[in-house]
Every structure is written in structure tokens, then in C-alpha cells.
Amino acid sequence: MTLNKRERAATGEEQRANLELAGLSEADLQRTLGMDDDRVSAALDVTSADPIDVWLVRDYLERMVLERGREPRPYTVLTPAARASAEKWFALYDLDEVLKESAS
């Protein structure tokens, strides 16, 4: 699954909006997800990021926004149908497993 320039820009805007709605910083993502600053920035901005990282950040942000009782900004590209397609190409991280590993 490859995103074009417009889709990457839209997804980056959606990731940043959900970061703000979640009340989190890039440092929070680094600490919680066990990613360095370059990986977090790339996943948020959908630049040279590994698609698996983009999905992980998306899932974490969506969960955090919902846990704060807010409505996440919808994703126009990273939809459930797109997830099914992505899973055919590569194994996505399980968010709960990543959170458990980073907590230990």
C-alpha cells in the first residue's frame, strides 16, 4: 500500500490533529511507543516512515483521543478497509503488545 503525495499530506494533518486532541507531545510518543524522535516525526508527518510505524502511531493516537472522551479526527486514507489491505502486505504492530513491552 503506497500513498501518493496528497494522501501523505492528508494523513500527516490527521496525525498531527489527533496528537493535539490527545494532548500528547512527540516526546510522549517516543517514550510510550519506544521510538526515537526521527521515527516519531516521520510517522506523524508520513514522510520517509515505515508504514508499520504510521499505523502504530495512528492507532495509539486514536485510542488516546477516545480515552480522553474526545472524538478523533477521522482518517481519510488509514481506514479499516486500508488496514485490511495493508495487512496483506506486512504485519502491523499490535498496539497492546507494544504498550506492554514499553511498560516493562
* % residues pLDDT > 90 (the chain): 62
Residues 6+ apart with CB under 8 A from 43: 15, 35, 49, 50, 53, 54, 56, 57
Q: What is the pLDDT at residue 1? A: 56
C-alpha Rg value of the chain to the nearest Å: 13
Residues 43 and 57: beta-carbon distance below 8 Å = yes
Q: What is the pLDDT at residue 85? A: 81
Residue 7 scores a pLDDT above 80: yes
pTM > 0.75: yes
Residue 40 scores a pLDDT above 60: yes
